Amino acid sequence: MGEVSLAYGSRSLSFSFDEQYFQILGSEAHLTPLSDPEIGAAIDSPIESPALEEIISAGDSVLIVVSDATRATGSSQSVNLLVRRLIQSGIQPAGISIIFATGIHRSVTPEEKLELLTPFIVQRVQLLDHDAADAAKLIDFGFTNRGTRVELNRALKDFDHVVIIGGIGFHYFAGFTGGRKSVCPGLASTATVEATHMLALDFEQGGRRAGVGTGLLDGNAVHEECEHIADLINPSFTINTVVDERGRIAQLFAGHWREAHRRGCAEYLARHSVKIPAKRDLVIASCGGSPYDINLIQAHKTLDMAAHACREGGTIILLAECRDGLGRADFLKWFEERDSLALETRLQRGYEVNGQTAWALLTKAERFRVLLVSELASQDVKLMRMFPFRSLDEAITQASHTDGAYIMPRGASSLPLVRH
């Protein structure tokens, strides 16, 4: 018998399994946390970019863009080192500000700011909050070639330099997280976020637009539009990280905002793709704990990855605590439709970003039997066409696995690919 611990919120659930029938997908034993000197060395060897000290001069002002509490990027380490480095280069602390790229997510709480940045930074550097619905905080940049109206946080124009810090991981329609997403959707208006995310759907043919999907950049309309919008800002420097299961920085790609991100994405895809001989009837997937299962909207990303390994009509057990609930108070309204096709029609009449997430979730609930182990209200889970459970053991007793099963301990970070 084998045993594995599956992260669930801030704790873990142990699971004993028969190794003859169960196979674990995704091993991250190769990820070793980077020390401060190793991070400094990576910043000293930028990808397709001059050295940071050659770009930013003494007396300049710098805006640092960081992710919110729904992302694990190791920012408490990287931002601390970056700020110290800037000050040593002659940048005054008063000339440095940090803004949270929340996009249309909720605001970052004071407690989360301390965790994301450390008390040392919070007490010494000005912190800014983004509000995608506050017109007073936005600047109009006109329209893209695709017709997207570009509205971004005005702080992006108030500083001599913009440094974006993000984390690289899989994203089910933008291809990857990190990079350009710090600007759009991170610091974009609600309307701009909706316009870019809408490109993921093909309202003429139905379903996903061709080229849009996990691990895809070239030909991905969502990625390309967000990248074009970020190019309007042309950030001076970027730091993109890959973190281990405890949220510690294990890899760092610094340099040009586009090229360093692309390099990181290519390496992430190579390391985190998992070849499987065939799909199976049962997949047990943990989001990897907090913040990956902070709410259902974030947890859906793991469900999407698990779907790559599950046979049509099979069962997916999803472990997602969802301590913040659904992620949007109005998320359930989309599940009033009779099926995903009706929901897609509704989106065509009145698109909203989280409506697309609901559509993506509903399509999976129609294709698979989804058993959700969470703290969500049972009636809400049932409305979303999933089956509610409070324990992993209980869910497993309701699942059959005649042809074996896959276990995904960090579901969002492993892309199963059927070996041909």
* 133-186 per-position pLDDT tens digit: 999 999 999 999 999 999 999 999 999 999 999 999 999 999 999 999 999 999
Encoded amino acid at 96, one letter: I
Do residues 201 and 208 touch, judged by C-beta distance below 8 A?
A: yes
Do residues 261 and 252 touch, judged by C-beta distance below 8 A?
A: no
Identify any residues that bridge with 6 across adjacent strands, giving them in sequence order.
Answer: 13
Beta-carbon contacts of residue 346 (< 8 Å; ≥ 6 apart): 334, 337, 355
Do residues 188 and 156 touch, judged by C-beta distance below 8 A?
A: no
| 31 within a domain of the structure (yes/no) | no
Q: How much is the average pLDDT of 30-53?
A: 95
Residue that finishes a domain, picked among 251, 270, 289? 270
Shared domain check, 296 and 248:
no
Look-up of token digits 């710090």:
182
Encoded amino acid at 383, one letter: L
Q: What is the CATH number of the domain that holds 126?
A: 3.40.50.11440
For residue 28, pLDDT beyond 90: no
| 162 within a domain of the structure (yes/no) | yes
Residue 345: the pLDDT is 95
Range of the domain at 346: 2-26+277-418
| 14 within a domain of the structure (yes/no) | yes
Shared domain check, 317 and 227:
no
Residue 250: the pLDDT is 96
Shared domain check, 236 and 105:
yes
Residue 14: the pLDDT is 87
How does DSSP classify residue 33?
A: P
| 387 within a domain of the structure (yes/no) | yes
For residue 27, pLDDT beyond 80: no
| DSSP conformation letters of 383-396 | HTT-EEES-HHHHH
Q: How confident is the model at residue 343 (pLDDT cuts 50, 70, 90)?
A: very high
Shared domain check, 47 and 20:
no
Residue 363: the pLDDT is 97
Query: Which pTM does this prediction carry?
Result: 0.93
Q: How much is the average pLDDT of 403-415?
A: 91
Residue that finishes a domain, picked among 224, 239, 270? 270
Shared domain check, 131 and 212:
yes
Identify the three-state secondary structure at position 127: strand
Please name the helix (run of DSSP H) or strand (run of DSSP E) that holds residue 231, with its range, or none: helix 221-233
Shared domain check, 238 and 167:
yes
The size of the chain, in residues, is 420
The Cα–Cα gap between 404 and 419 comes to: 17
In this structure, the number of other CB atoms found within 10 A of the CB of residue 150 comes to 24
Q: What is the CATH number of the domain that holds 13?
A: 3.90.226.30
| 252 within a domain of the structure (yes/no) | yes
Say if residue 111 is exposed, middle or buried (CB neighbours under 10 Å; 0-12, 13-18, 19+).
Answer: exposed
Longest dimension (CA), the chain: 67
Q: How much is the average pLDDT of 94-104?
A: 97
Identify the three-state secondary structure at position 284: strand
Whether the bond into 291 is cis, omega within 30 of 0: yes
Beta-carbon contacts of residue 27 (< 8 Å; ≥ 6 apart): none
Shared domain check, 252 and 303:
no
Residue 404: the pLDDT is 84
Residue 25: the pLDDT is 92
The Cα–Cα gap between 66 and 341 comes to: 37
| 100 within a domain of the structure (yes/no) | yes
| 74 within a domain of the structure (yes/no) | yes
Shared domain check, 372 and 320:
yes
Residue 59: the pLDDT is 92
Encoded amino acid at 308, one letter: H
How many structural domains is the chain composed of? 2
The Cα–Cα gap between 145 and 256 comes to: 24
Shared domain check, 411 and 265:
no
Shared domain check, 81 and 200:
yes
Where in 144-192 does DSSP place strands (E)? 149-153, 161-167, 170-171, 175-176
| 289 within a domain of the structure (yes/no) | yes
Q: Which of 31, 5, 3, 28 is nearest to 17 (CA)?
A: 3
Shared domain check, 111 and 258:
yes
Residue that finishes a domain, picked among 241, 270, 299? 270
Shared domain check, 18 and 45:
no
For residue 341, pLDDT beyond 90: yes
